[in-house]
């Protein structure tokens, strides 16, 4: 039985090229090809594809929004994102939304069917440059959206291990009153009212 591929790509030439590529490949079948994802749910339910190829930038609704919608009713359907850029911030957004893999459009002719096979085997195919970017984003230290100072982050980190104000004061060679002042500012910045709330927020948002 052929593997059914559903294509969403707003570039007419590329959509036709993809459709032709899939239709000519032994063991694969084109389930459908569309220039937008405005009816993505009904089209997926209609065609019952094995894999979706999804352009990331489309008019009306983006590929990222479409992935989120797909995941709301189908958590297992493999969705491979197609993009021109390997440094696009949307790459990470799409992966968080539930994309199964990522392929640069310049690699479609040489790597498309390997990527489809890989994703059907449970893998997460990605162009090498995109894989490097994803790994790099994981290795970067967490951002500081609450504008905590270095000392406030240090104290929050120690606070999350359960240390008392007295132990924190001793560790940083500061007075307990200074510790209290720092923690009060931490609470204000995090918009919390207790140590438990502060620590929970710090851990959930990877501030420590």
**pLDDT digits 0-9 by tens, 4-23:** 999 999 999 999 999 999 99
Residue 5: both structure tokens together: 């591929």
Contact 155, 186 (CB under 8 A): yes
Instruction: Give the pLDDT band of residue 141 (cuts 50, 70, 90).
Output: low
Whether pTM > 0.85 for this model: the answer is no
Closest CA to 152 of 182, 177, 191: 182
Grouping H, G, I as helix, E, B as strand and the rest as coil, residue 6 is strand
pLDDT of residue 198: 87
* pLDDT in the model for residue 26: 94
Q: Report pLDDT for 139.
A: 62
Kind and range of the H or E element at 103? strand 101-104
Mean pLDDT for 166-177 is 91
What does the block give as tokens for 184?
A: 């009060």
Domains assigned to the chain: 3-139 (3.40.50.2300), 150-204 (1.10.10.10)
Question: Residue 173 carries which DSSP code?
Answer: T
**H/E segment holding residue 114:** helix 108-120
For the segment 63-92, the average pLDDT, to the nearest whole number, is 88
List, in order, residues 6 or more apart from 62 with CB less than 8 Å away. Answer: 37, 56, 90
Please tell me the distance from the alpha carbon of residue 26 to that of residue 46, in angstroms, as a whole number. 23
């Amino acid at each position: 039985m052929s593997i059914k591929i559903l294509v969403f790509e707003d570039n007419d030439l590329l959509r036709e090229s993809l459709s032709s590529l899939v239709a000519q490949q032994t063991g694969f079948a084109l389930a459908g090809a569309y220039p937008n994802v405005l009816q993505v749910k009904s089209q997926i339910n209609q065609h019952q594809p094995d894999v979706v190829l999804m352009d990331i930038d489309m008019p009306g609704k983006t590929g990222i929004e479409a992935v989120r919608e797909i995941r709301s009713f189908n958590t297992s359907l493999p969705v491979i994102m197609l993009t021109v850029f390997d440094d696009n911030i949307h790459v990470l957004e799409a992966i968080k939304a539930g994309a199964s893999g990522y392929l640069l459009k310049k690699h479609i002719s040489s790597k498309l069917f390997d990527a489809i096979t890989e994703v059907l085997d449970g893998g997460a195919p990605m162009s090498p440059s995109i894989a490097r970017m994803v790994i790099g984003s994981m290795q970067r230290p967490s951002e500081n959206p609450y504008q905590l100072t270095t000392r406030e982050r240090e104290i929050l980190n120690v606070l999350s291990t359960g240390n008392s104000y007295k132990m924190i004061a001793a560790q940083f060679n500061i007075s307990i009153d200074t510790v209290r002042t720092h923690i009060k500012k931490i609470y204000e910045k995090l918009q919390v009212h207790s140590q438990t709330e502060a620590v929970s927020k710090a851990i959930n948002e990877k501030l420590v």
